[in-house]
Structure 1
């Protein structure tokens, strides 16, 4: 069914459903990713920030019960991953949850999800870059005996007991610039680098687990939940932003070979690896160091190894692994945000310049540069503790919308997935319930920032985005009836 004309009522426009892929006069993205590289996108984006530096903020909130926080976050991510897998197998378009919401709920929901994803990816990229700085300083100190000056390592507003004040987080800005250059070279090259980095980080984390378990002390778990259930919830909310990698896989929907098979497969592989590594490292870390000692540690896992081995080289190995690991996280979150903006540009929710593909690398050049111009300064001038929870709220709301989209999609006869969620409808319902519980652990300040962001987003949409999206819908791409026609088009009629 064709989209409603520009003269249609506002509700008809807000409820419009569509998925746009490249039309005849648009340059498409290149399908160059296989299932292994795709799974490494998820692992690369997920394993890194949460393990390498979020323990220092989550453990003081939850105590040793942070392992329960990881279990709850993993449960929510696992349930959401199943929902993502089914939708990705039927709507293999760039844009992730944004594209799914637009396809099965409508434009108004897609705009809200887009706001969440922009918050999720933008803040996750900045937060990862900020965390990277601590390990760069640790590695630099181990290698040279010197440290990066405090003013060049911390954002304005930061200070220490010695009276030093932060001016700029210079390493984080450098990291964003390096990732931007790599992404501009092409998705194949970027994801090859990411795959190598993921394999290195998994090796380094296995090394940490083996060493940490040699100093395992069961007494560290005696005061298991010092802050009670509220502390467990707060810890879960703090670390949940690290599961953005589950969503990141689906942002590559238009750059994957045979996406209806490879997207669900990659999501499940990535989730299995992530759950195993997270639990092993969390248990090993808390077992090796009393929970009150985590507070304020900028390179916590390296410090644990230093204390166990009383030698510098184990901490150096871990710091080097963390530098590589968080580089890959930043690379993938930056990549994910550019692909979501690419889909939004093609739908004219934002300027169509975001959907232009240029150069021999077939990547959205303007899009990538614009994202870097925003994320780089955010990483350089905003403290980490103001970033992580905003990513969590964006991630969880996106997960909830994906679960609801699945329920709506099952009722639409035009949706024909190649992967089907087990225990339907229990799985999407539990996704909503568990993510809703995690949201209750966020602070009122985080909710206020989130509310302000949503007001700004919908304000822009009602004043400008809705009009240009309506004009764009006057010539929609033709619907695809059969899933066998092409891997580059979704199995969805337009409404």
Structure 2
């Protein structure tokens, strides 16, 4: 077999579907927990944390940046929805790429997803510490010292709150998927209630002059803002990682993906509009806990900010939980295919991939403890955009190769919507700085080395063909 044939071999859809029907994981999730999983994995980080990073670049037009990023996510969400309904397995984009574009592309996609999920969890954990300090300041009149709440380079030694929230989420995941889903649903509803409270209070202080000049840096500022806040939409695909734990995956996965993206985009735009109109982008850009600061300025009292900070502490922790869940399930699929060690797909009596979960939790906790938020957010965005681009190409390929495949959802306006998704992903990638490209290039090179040195020989597809 030539190298071209070796790297481009695909795993048949029928085989993927058969494996998922004999999964060792437990099918317990209905539509509501799946929507809560995707919303819980998405909603929080961008509006609670990354808004402060994007506001200075885009100005009041950060509202448009959220819309642009949402449109880019929509095209990819439509492709995800079709593939999730056609190939209802746990591997998300990795499994879709394996069924359409071949093993090498699938590996690269899976490796990008590991970057996306692992680094985004670390970024969320870092942002969680800012709101924890805000809550402690408002209730106890104290904060955690910078040395123990900030990474090296930002005045600290190690970010202890980030480590704590990752390890707590890991402990919840070890309890089982049903228990994790119950925690996720509760915290997601709490998160939505806190943001509704913020909008109601912020709109009472709305001033139109805070929206001018609307786009001080023009299209370039809006684009830079969209590239930054795209990080906020990462997670709408989380339901696709639960393909083997959903009771009716072909029906519920596409619905959960689309519903979650609509909910998240609407909330982001409304909250950004209310925040900018109330205090302006200068204030938002000057605080890591930007929404809590905005409430304190608007009301002149401390309790609304404390309430919001408490909601953020609980709600952002749910993002850590749900994204950690997604990463462990992707590793299960890669391990089951032989591209990762077999222990990563072994489950315990609670149907939890225990070795996998503990390893991921410890590694992410270490990452969150020492790396700054801005670096983590950009690294997450580029990994996600590459994975989204692969999914958009994959849905076109599968339509051509398997036109008669049973699809519970079909992407409209084929192939234009997926092609637009690819173009928008490429556009947003170009808006990221060269350091992010450098980190991604090093990560990809390491991934290729691991694949060529380990995965390509141990691949179960390779063994089957050799036999």
- Indicate the TM-score class for this superposition, using the shorter chain for normalisation: over 0.9
Q: 1:352 Cα deviation (Å)?
A: 1.2
* Selected match of 1:291 from 260, 281, 288: 281
Report whether the alignment pairs 1:436 with 2:426. Answer: yes
Q: 1:10 Cα deviation (Å)?
A: 2.6
TM-score by length of 1: 0.91
* Selected match of 2:368 from 371, 374, 379: 379
How many residue pairs are counted as aligned between the two chains? 463
Give 3-state SS (helix, strand or coil) of 2:409's partner. Answer: coil
1:62–1:232 contact (8 Å) kept in structure 2: yes
1:347–1:472 contact (8 Å) kept in structure 2: no
* Selected match of 2:401 from 412, 418, 431: 412
- Residue 333 of structure 1: aligned partner: 323
Q: 1:415 Cα deviation (Å)?
A: 3.0
Report whether the alignment pairs 1:394 with 2:387. Answer: no
- Residue 309 of structure 1: aligned partner: 299
* Selected match of 1:11 from 4, 11, 24: 4
Give 3-state SS (helix, strand or coil) of 1:202's partner. Answer: helix
1:20–1:347 contact (8 Å) kept in structure 2: no
**CA separation of 1:22 and 1:120: change in aligned 2, threshold 3 A:** same
* Selected match of 2:235 from 229, 245, 251: 245
Q: 1:470 Cα deviation (Å)?
A: 5.3
Q: 1:209 Cα deviation (Å)?
A: 0.4
Give 3-state SS (helix, strand or coil) of 1:251's partner. Answer: helix
* Selected match of 1:110 from 91, 106, 113: 106
> What does 1:344-493 correspond to in 2, within 5 Å?
344-358=334-348, 360-413=349-402, 415-469=405-459, 473-474=463-464
- Residue 260 of structure 1: aligned partner: 250
- Structure 2 distance, partners of 1:197, 1:17, is 39
- Structure 1 distance, partners of 2:361, 2:405, is 36
- Structure 2 distance, partners of 1:431, 1:225, is 25
TM-score by length of 2: 0.96
Give 3-state SS (helix, strand or coil) of 1:17's partner. Answer: coil
Superposed CA offset, 1:258-307 (max 9, x none): 10000011112111211110110010011011212222301110000000
Q: 1:308 Cα deviation (Å)?
A: 0.6
- Residue 489 of structure 1: aligned partner: none
**CA separation of 1:393 and 1:15: change in aligned 2, threshold 3 A:** same
* Selected match of 1:278 from 268, 274, 294: 268
Q: 1:25 Cα deviation (Å)?
A: 13
Indicate the larger mover: 8-17 or 226-235: 8-17
1:93–1:251 contact (8 Å) kept in structure 2: yes
Superposed CA offset, 1:377-422 (max 9, x none): 1001111121000111111111111110000010012632111111
> What does 1:18-57 correspond to in 2, within 5 Å?
18=11, 20=16, 28-57=24-53
- Structure 2 distance, partners of 1:447, 1:10, is 27
- Structure 2 distance, partners of 1:315, 1:88, is 40
Q: 1:233 Cα deviation (Å)?
A: 1.2
Could you say which structure has the higher helix fraction? 2
* Selected match of 1:89 from 67, 85, 91: 85
- Structure 2 distance, partners of 1:21, 1:28, is 14
1:105–1:405 contact (8 Å) kept in structure 2: yes
Superposed CA offset, 1:20-50 (max 9, x none): 4675998611111001100111110111000
1:27–1:357 contact (8 Å) kept in structure 2: no
Superposed CA offset, 1:125-152 (max 9, x none): 0000000000001101111011111111
- Structure 1 distance, partners of 2:342, 2:219, is 47
2:293–2:305 contact (8 Å) kept in structure 1: yes
Alignment gaps of 5+ in structure 1: 1-7, 160-165, 477-495
- Residue 179 of structure 1: aligned partner: 169
- Structure 2 distance, partners of 1:383, 1:327, is 18
Q: 1:9 Cα deviation (Å)?
A: 2.9
Considering only aligned residues, what root-mean-square deviation do their CA atoms show, in Å?
1.7
Q: 1:471 Cα deviation (Å)?
A: 6.8
